[in-house]
């Protein structure tokens, strides 16, 4: 487990996405960005498909959506 190498450029980490309530942003930064990037939905898509394929509204906890995005891109055309 390690800090994510995308901290400097990630819209989520830099508060460029609509803020989540209840202090979730700080919790996610702590749990995903600083500890467990491999569990982050944004990181999963970035790693599988490239950063331009990461949906702008994908939050770190949305692993199901990340898997859908990755699966959809792997369908034969």
- The whole-angstrom separation of Cα 22 and Cα 39 is 21
Mark residues 8-47: x for contact with ligand SF4 by CB under 6 A, - for none. --x-xx------------------xx---x--x-xx--x-
**Dihedral sign from CA coordinates of 54, 55, 61, 66:** negative
**What end-to-end distance do the CA atoms of the chain give, in Å?**
36
**Between residues 40 and 69, which has the closer beta carbon with respect to ligand SF4?**
40
Binding site for ligand SF4 (CB under 6 A): 4, 6-7, 10, 12-13, 32-33, 37, 40, 42-43, 46, 60
């Amino acid at each position: 487990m390690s800090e994510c190498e995308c901290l400097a450029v990630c819209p989520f980490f830099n508060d460029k996405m609509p803020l989540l309530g209840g202090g979730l942003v700080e919790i996610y930064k702590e749990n995903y960005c600083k500890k467990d990037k491999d569990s982050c939905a944004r990181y999963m898509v970035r790693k599988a498909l490239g950063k331009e394929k990461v949906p702008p509204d994908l939050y770190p906890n949305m692993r199901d959506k990340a898997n859908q995005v990755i699966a959809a891109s792997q369908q034969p055309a």
